[in-house]
Structure formats: structure tokens, C-alpha cells
A and B are shown apart, each in its own frame.
Chain A
């Protein structure tokens, strides 16, 4: 169940965005005309645009890492910080962050008036908001689950907190962090495409990059350029994966805490090249040496040695009480601010309308998840139980999950316009288009991991047909399926904001739903509507996660996890 912390955290998030909108509405100035459309559709520029987009992704992931190391560490080390930071993170993780894009854009444009730097920062920040939360969450959870014996080793061998952080805690968190970084990267592509070309009220921004190229192609109705953008994204993602993530994952294998070497070790030709080529390995050992030395600094001044005398229980309780009262006051103030801001222009009728639209979108998400489930679970099982096939399909599914679905949206729009299809039905497909792959590769992974003994038991007792599905394989893959469906569900809500309202030149196609509502309000620069839309959507998403996915997840982990 959502508790008071979630409510407070959500209010705080919304209030901060309201404050940003308030504070920066006067400061923002339209960019020079020259900057309004710096993107041309010549293919020759595509590599350059791809590079710019990739750099933005790098900047964002770097920011996410810095955020992860500070925020998650603070949450893990301080009990009082933890009660605020963790619910906040949880809310940020489930809120459709795309809805906030307009606020952040206005804010950053205000910071650097008239310069593209503001727009750059806004885009990077948007990508950051799609990447940081799950990374921080994973890091926090790792910090909390460091094996106690290793903690004791660090203590009894006098490692300073700085040394312990780099020698024990960070390495221990590495596998989870890297996995989440890859997930974040996949999510980031979606946002980079959405954030490079955005219109908020009178302000229109186009930053040189693939996203802006795509937007330009849509404006000029150039289907060939859309396909060009698709190809460029494909190439960039493949390069990214081969040159960056595969080496990192293969290298990070050593951080896994396990007693014996696992059977399927990840390999990477890039990593092997670095390790086997003499000058490359010599060149890379220099920064390696520096990092290793820095991690061995003691830096005792960071943590003045506290006397072990614990403060009296009374003093500690008193500080707790003051702290909690302060947070509660801040939370109530935040709620009041948000309501006040929204109520200036909107009435209760608007609110009901928003709730209704959110329910439409929810219906879409649920129905599409069901359809995706019905199609992909049997197929995923079929593939997963054939190891040689699974080995080929699995990377493809993961790749498709990373591919930003909004790049192919224009193609769908053209089809909808051409055949005069009902947008309420056919735009819905776009919501699930990019996120269904999470279900696919998780179900494949589940079926691959299904114990061979149990398969043989089923064969031995001739369990077939309905019984085999209901009593053997579906319970077996259930925990995996829920993980995939949970991710797909979260992604779908975000996708709704882009997918329910799409354009092709001057033609606009909208479905009924909260996503279209937010997108239209953004285009019009109507802040109270954006705030209310995002708030209602966030509340529904959080309730949906807590009341539906969490119990299902807990049930799967408790009862159906094999081994």
C-alpha cells in the first residue's frame, strides 16, 4: 500500500516543478531565429547528429552516476535521510517523467537565456531523469546488502570509510549497477529522441541530433529521412553495445560474489583486445593504477572519528521527532502549493475529466499488456526451451527493448492517416510497441532457466496440454514474467505521453487519454493543466504499481521462485 511517505514524496516532486515554473516563466526568452531550426535533412549530417546525441547520452549517464554515488550513499548511511530519500526515489521511479519535460526545459532555458546551452542542459537533464532513479535504487540496495563478514573484514583491517567505499561497497554494487545502467541507457534513447525537439508554448527548441532530425523529417513529411534516422539509431545502439557495454559487463564479471566461476561467462572482443594488445593494456593500466591509488587514500578527515559513546536514547528520539515534524510540515506545504497553483485556473470538473482520461490510458495499457502477454508468453516459452534458438533470439529482444520506439512512430502515423484508422485503437499499439520486448526477453530467460529435472518429471508423468501450461511452465516462469511486465508497464505509461498525440507535417492525430492531454497542454504551455495531468497520472501509476504489481511480484518471489 502507498503510505504517507509516498504521498509526501509525490507532493514534494510536484511542488519543486511548480516552483521551477513559477520562477522561470519570466526569465525565459525565445531563442534566436537561427537556432530555431538548425537541422537539415541531408543524410550526410546524420553521423554528426548521431555523435551529438551520443554525447548527450554520455553526459547524462555521467550525471546519473554522480547522482547515484551521492544520493544512494547518503540514503544508505543515514537513517534519517533514508526515510525521506527512498520514498522520493520510489515515486520518481514510477512517475511518468516525460510529463515534466516542459518544466525542466523552461527552467534551463531561463538559466541560460538566448543560448543553446540551456537547451542542451534541458535535454541532458531529461535523459538524466530517465536514467538515474533505478541506478540509485540498485546502488542503495547493494549498499544495504553487503555481506556482513566482508563488512567485518573492512572493520577489523582498519579500512577508512573512503577505502571501504571503493574497495568493498562499490565493487559489491557493481554488477547490479551496470545492469541498471544498461537498462537506463535503453530508456534514455526514448527520452533523447523526445527531448531534442520540443515546443513549450512559444518556445521551440531543436538541438542538432537524431531526435531533432526526426522531428524535422516529420515537419517536412519526409519518410525517407525517418528511415534514415531509424538506421542511424540502429547503428549507434549496436556500436554502443559492442564498444562500451559488452566490455564493461565482461569485465564486471569479477565483481560477482560467488564461490565458483559461473558457467556462462560473458565475453567481449573489445575487452580481449585491450587485455591482449600490449600497448593498449599498458595505456589502460595507467588510469587503472591512478584509480586504484585514489581508492586507497584514507581521507580520514572526511569522517572525523566519532566517539563510540552513543547519544542517549532520549536525545536521539527528540531529534527524530523534530526531523519528522519538519518533513511533514514541508510535505503539507508542498501539497498546498500544488493545489493552489492548479486551482488558479482549473475547476473540479477539469479534475474529473483528467481522472477519466487517465482511466482511458490505463485501460489501454492494461489491454495491451494482456495482448502482448497472450502473444509473447507462449512464443517466449517455446523459444526459451530451445537453448540454441534462445541464444540467438535473446540479444535481438534486448536490442529491440533498447531501440527507441518513438523513432518509428511517424511510420505508424502515415499508415493511420493513409487508411483512416481509428486513433483511439491504433495509436494504442504504439504504447506497447517499444515495451513489449521486456516481456519477451524475461519470459525467454525464465523458460531457459526452468530446471531440466522438472521438465523431465513432466515428460515422465506425461503431463501435457493444459496441465503442462498451468501447473508446470507458467508457475515456473511467473517471477520472470512479472519482472518483465512490471518494466513494460512503467515504460508504457511514459510512452503514452508521446504515443497518444502524434504529428505528421501539419496533420495531428490524438487519442483520448491522459498522455494526449499532457502533450497538448505542453504544446500550449498551459502549466496548471500539465501539473494536474502529471499529478493525476502519477497517483494512478503509483497506486497501480502498489496495489497490483507489488503484491504479484511478492507472491511470485515467495511461492514460485525455483531454487
Chain B
């Protein structure tokens, strides 16, 4: 792709984005003062954990959303709606189930008033390019996940976009299918057979980012900011076992688990918000106990390298990080520089019997999760020892979106039940101290 004029394709200028509450008011900040450029001929990866706003950023770039402040400039003009020349591939392929493969691919062209014959010709060419020959008349529900995502690619490419946006396009696929699709895409890109000038992709898979991207932008959460930018200079096709490749992966893991020294609240900084306003991830107590046991046992013996752990557990960072960070929040483990190390309590937990575990967990929950402590205190103070769910949910909704509030309160219910620090009654929609008979 050397023939393209060397001018910036797209520029994001000081963009800030906030949650919209149901009432229409603006809520907490998702993205904070993001600036970046997209140059011709490069693949840029946006890497970050869940909730860091990487998908929000992609939607701003595509024009599907408008920023609260700042602007996105594409070819010298401010983006204020889906721009022509920018096409998107969605996580779930997002095909129209009532349209056949070819009709799905043609749809974007027909919307642009391309004539029927021309649309048919171009759609067939795109289907051919992406390896979907013979599936033209199939309906999406007849296809496997990988084939559906290929249709998603064909649909995007057929409009001859300058920029291809991809929102975790391989994350819904199984490992083998994802790998085939990645290498096919990189082959097409390297051979210059796709009409696109550059690609911007969102991912939470560190290896995927290193495998595909020329530039990786790591976003921090709480709120989403650009934490760092890494250039990948390895030549395609890249080899996952190459020492340089491994080193880069390790480096990014370290970067993403680096403790925020400047953060006011010290080590709680992993989750957005502080105190009562801390947005907690949905992590089951089984996963927490499972990870503690895994790290406590050989070969790790209490300290594990996160990339290795992720590999052996077949987990991606969006699954592994929340568990590790919840353990860190509860002071059962410390996560630093791409390593996870059990604390003394963490080791005790891993070795203990069920009842001791529950006691220990409950104590740590009350000590380190402000919302859990608050619920318990309110229950202790009330003569009825009962408090409705909405009372706490509305309180934390001041700090976070309704969706996060729901997730947070469900997690605390789950953890509180395990630690036996309170009861939750679904029928009465409230917390109590009594034990069910």
C-alpha cells in the first residue's frame, strides 16, 4: 500500500465521551481527552480491558456516536454521522438473518444507489475475494460462525472503504477459526488485494494485537485514556513463538497490570470509581477460588506469570483480568508487572476448608469492598434488619451507569451470600440478616 498519498486519513482530536443516563442527563466519563491519528497503510489496534471505552471510541470514529466534546476529523471534515468510506465489521457479524449472503453483501451498495447489475458484480467479486464462493444463496443461519464473519468482511469491503473498522471481529469465534480468519485477512492486506487504506481494530486479546497491528494503542480504564502506544515492527507473517514476539506480549501484559502509583486510592485503581462508586465486575466466587487454587499449586507455587497463566487456562485477558483484579481488591493477591502473587490470606484461603474459606472471604469483603460494608452496616442499624435493593442501587447509580450499577450490585449479592455477611431475598427484592430456615 505504498501508492497512497501520505496524508493523515483520520484524526481524533481531544475527544471526551460520557454515559447517557435514561433521564437524558450525562453520567460518568467513558473516554477522557483522547487524541490519535490514523495514517494510510497501517493497522492500528485499540487494546484494553472491558469497560475502557475502546468500543465507544470505535463508534465515535465510525460516526455512529457523537462525542460529548472534541471532534473526529476524516479527510479534513468533521464526522457528524456515518461517513462514506468508513466501513465496520461487527463482533457478532450482525448479518440480517432474512437476507441471503449475497443480499447481505449487496445491501450497503444498494443503499448507496449503486445499480442492481453493478451491485451484483461487485458483491460477487467481494464474496470471491473473501473465500465465500458457493455460499452466495445461503442464509446466515445455515453458516458457521467463521463463515458468517467472512460475510461481515465481504459486506464491509464491497463498499470500497478507505478505512476498515473492526470491533473484536474474532472474539466470538473458536480458536482455530479465528486463527484462519486472521491469517487470511493479513494475507489479503499484505498482498494489497483489499481496497482499503488502513484498518483500525478493537481487541482485548494481546497476542492478536501483536500478531496483526503495526501500532497498538493501550487504553487505561477509569476513565478511558491513552495509556501508551507501542509500535510493532515485526514483518508479516508474524510467528507467535518468535522470542521478539513473546517479549512484546510480556511487555504489554506488564504495562496493562502496572500499578497506578499516582492513583489516589492506591491499589483499588483497577476498577472504575472509588469507594461506594466502584464499578465491580461480574466474577463468580468459584472463579475466584479456582484461580487462587491454581496459582497456589505447583508449578506456580504462589506466583504466576499472567501470559503463561492465560495460555494454560485458555483464557483471554477480559476473562482473566477481572478475576485477578477482584482478588487484588480483596487482598488475596497482588497483580503487578504481568505477574500475580498470592498474599498470605490468599494462601490461607487456598489451603482452607469450606467454612474457613467463607469466613475469610466474608471478612475481606467487609474490609475491602465499601458497598458490601455499607449494606451490612445499614442492616445492622435497622431494627428490622431489612433493606430494599433499590436503596443501594439508586445510591450507586449516582456514580455509574445503570448497567454497571446492576452488575456491581449483583456481584456484591453473590459475594455477600458466599461470605455469609447478609442474605438476599429475590421475592422481597431486599437484603436481610436472617438465615433462611
Asked whether A159 lies within 8 Å of B64 as measured between CB atoms, the reply is no
Contact B82 A298 (CB under 8 A): no
Task: Please state if B88 and A156 are interface contacts (CB–CB under 8 Å).
Answer: yes
Residue among A152, A257, A298 making CB contact with B88, cutoff 8 Å? A152
Q: Which of A147, A156, A256 contacts B63 (CB 8 A)?
A: A156
CB distance from A331 to the nearest CB of B (A): 24
Chain A residues within 8 Å of B97, by CB: 254-258
The answer to whether B63 touches A259 (Cβ under 8 A) is no
In the complex, are the beta carbons of A156 and B112 less than 8 A apart? no
A160 at the interface (CB under 8 A from B): yes
The answer to whether B90 and A255 have CB atoms under 8 Å apart is no
Q: Which residues of A contact B159 (CB under 8 A)?
A: 157
Q: Taking each of A147, A157, A163, which has the highest tally of chain B beta carbons within 10 Å of its own beta carbon? A: A157
B interface, size bucket: 20 to 34
Within 8 A of A (CB), among B92-112: 92, 94, 96-99, 107-108, 110-112
Majority-rule SS of B interface residues? loop
Q: Does A260 contact B (CB under 8 A)?
A: yes
**Is B328 interfacial (CB-CB < 8 Å)?**
no
Q: In the assembled complex, how far is the CB of residue B35 from the closest CB belonging to chain A, in whole angstroms?
A: 21
A298, B113: Cα distance in complex, Å: 8
A168, A254, A298, most chain B CB atoms within 10 A: A254
Q: Which residues of B contact A308 (CB under 8 A)?
A: 66, 80-81
Bound state CA distance, A313 and B20, in angstroms? 13
B112 to A158, Cβ gap below 8 A? yes
CA distance A167 to B84 in the complex (A): 20
Contacts A153-B90, A156-B62, A158-B82: A258 and B96 contacting too (C-beta < 8 A)? no
State which of A147, A160, A254 has its C-beta within 8 Å of the C-beta of B139. Answer: A254
Give chain A nearest CB distance to B210 CB in angstroms: 27
* Contacts A149-B94, A150-B94, A255-B98; A156 near B82 (Cβ below 8 A): yes
A559 interfacial by beta-carbon distance below 8 Å = yes
- Tell me if A155 counts as interface (CB < 8 A to partner B): yes
Given A155-B64, A157-B107; A559-B426 close (CB under 8 Å)? yes
A261 at the interface (CB under 8 A from B): yes
| Cα–Cα distance between A153 and B64 once the two chains are bound (Å) | 9
Per the bound structure, the CA–CA distance linking A259 and B94 in Å amounts to: 11
Q: B369 within 8 Å of A by Cβ?
A: no
With A149-B91, A153-B90, A167-B96 known as contacts, the answer to whether A259 contacts B141 (CB < 8 A) is yes
Give the shortest distance, in Å, between A319 (CB) and chain B (any CB): 13
Report how far A120 CA is from B261 CA in the complex, Å.
80
Please pick, from B96, B110, B113, B142, the residue contacting A171 in the complex, using a CB distance under 8 A: B96
Interface pair B111/A159, CB less than 8 Å apart? yes
Q: B226 on the interface (CB 8 Å rule)?
A: no
Q: Is the CB of A156 within 8 A of B84?
A: no
* Chain A residues, Cβ within 8 Å of B142: 261
B200: min CB distance to chain A, Å: 13
- Does B194 make an interface contact (CB < 8 A)? no
Partner of B87, one of A156, A163, A259: A156
CA distance A14 to B87 in the complex (A): 52
Within 8 A of A (CB), among B104-161: 107-108, 110-113, 139, 141-142, 155, 159
- Asked if A260 and B141 sit within 8 Å, CB to CB, the answer is yes
In the complex, which residues of chain A have a beta carbon less than 8 angstroms from the beta carbon of B66?
308
B96 touches A149 (CB 8 A): no
- Report A542 CB to chain B, min CB distance, Å: 26
CA of A156 to CA of B141, assembled, Å: 23
B113 to chain A: which residues have CB within 8 Å?
298
How many angstroms between the C-alpha atoms of A308 and B60 in the bound complex?
Answer: 13
B342 within 8 A of A: no
Residue total for A at the interface (Cβ-Cβ under 8 A): 30
Q: B249 within 8 Å of A by Cβ?
A: no
Bound together, the chains give a CA A308 to CA B78 distance in angstroms of 12
Which chain B positions have C-beta within 8 A of A261? 141-142
Q: Which residues of B contact A150 (CB under 8 A)?
A: 94, 96
B72 adjacent to chain A (CB < 8 Å): no
Q: Is A296 an interface residue (CB 8 A)?
A: yes
Contact B110 A296 (CB under 8 A): yes
- Let me know if B86 is at the binding interface, CB within 8 A: yes
CA distance A260 to B92 in the complex (A): 14
Q: How far is the CB of B303 from chain A (nearest CB, A)?
A: 41
Within 8 A of B (CB), among A86-131: none
B43-76 interface bits toward A, Cβ cutoff 8 Å, 1 = contact, 0 = none: 0000000000000000100111010000000000
By a CB distance below 8 angstroms, the chain A residues around B87 are 156-157
Alpha-carbon gap, A254 to B92, bound state (A): 19
Q: How far is the CA of A33 from the CA of B62 in the complex (A)?
A: 70
Question: Is B64 touching A152 in the complex (CB atoms < 8 A)?
Answer: yes
Name B87's closest neighbour in chain A (CB-CB): A156
Q: Are A171 and B98 in contact (CB under 8 A)?
A: yes
Tell me which residues across on chain A come within 8 A of B62, comparing CB atoms. Answer: 156
What is the bound-complex CA distance between A156 and B82, given in angstroms?
A: 5
A419 to B122, CA, bound (A): 79
Instruction: Return A448 CB to nearest CB of chain B, in Å.
Output: 23
8 Å CB interface, B258-299 against A: none
What CA separation (Å) do A174 and B81 show in the bound complex?
Answer: 29
Which residues of A lie under 8 Å from residue B98 when comparing CB positions? 171, 174, 254-255
**With A261-B141, A261-B142, A298-B113 in contact, do A157 and B94 touch (Cβ < 8 Å)?**
no
**A559: which B residues are within 8 A, CB to CB?**
426-427
Q: A150-B96, A152-B64, A261-B142 are in contact. Are A158 and B111 (CB under 8 A)?
A: yes
What chain B residues lie within 8 Å of A256 (beta carbons)? 97
Please provide the chain B residues from 387 to 437 with a CB less than 8 Å away from any CB of chain A in the complex.
Answer: 426-427
Instruction: Pick the residue among B24, B111, B426, B427 that contacts A157 (CB under 8 A).
Output: B111
Q: What residues of chain A lie closer than 8 Å to B427, measured between beta carbons? A: 559
Q: Chain A residues with Cβ under 8 A from B92's Cβ?
A: 149
* Residues 292-349 of A at the B interface (beta carbon under 8 Å): 296, 298, 307-308, 313
Please indicate the chain A residues that have their CB under 8 angstroms from the CB of B81 in the complex. Answer: 308
A307 CA to B91 CA, complexed, in Å: 29
Per-residue CB contact flags for chain A residues 237-277 toward chain B (1 = under 8 Å, else 0) read: 00000000000000000111111110000000000000000
The answer to whether A156 and B111 have CB atoms under 8 Å apart is: no
Question: Which residues of chain A (131-182) have a CB below 8 Å from chain B?
Answer: 147, 149-150, 152-153, 155-160, 163, 167-168, 171, 174
B430 CB to closest chain A CB (Å) equals 15
- Given A152-B64, A255-B98, A258-B97, A160 and B90 contact (CB-CB distance below 8 Å): no
A168 to chain B, nearest CB (A): 7
Chain B 222-258 residues near chain A, CB threshold 8 A? none
Instruction: List residues 369-403 of chain A with CB under 8 A from any CB of chain B.
Output: none
Asked if residues B107 and A167 are in contact (CB atoms below 8 Å), the reply is yes
Inside 8 A of B112's CB, which chain A residues have their CB? 158
What is the CA–CA distance of A296 and B87 in the complex, to the nearest angstrom?
20
**Which chain A residue shows the least CB distance to B140?**
A259
| Besides A159-B107, A167-B99, A255-B97, 17 new A-B residue pairs in contact (Cβ under 8 A), listed by A number | A149-B92, A152-B59, A153-B94, A153-B96, A155-B64, A156-B62, A157-B82, A157-B159, A158-B108, A163-B111, A171-B96, A255-B98, A261-B141, A296-B110, A298-B113, A308-B66, A559-B426
Binding site for B on A (CB under 8 A): 147, 149-150, 152-153, 155-160, 163, 167-168, 171, 174, 254-261, 296, 298, 307-308, 313, 559
Q: List 7 A-B contacts (CB under 8 A).
A: A152-B90, A156-B87, A158-B82, A174-B98, A254-B98, A296-B111, A313-B24
Q: Which 8 A-B pairs have the closest CB atoms?
A: A157-B108, A149-B94, A171-B98, A308-B80, A156-B88, A156-B82, A255-B98, A159-B111
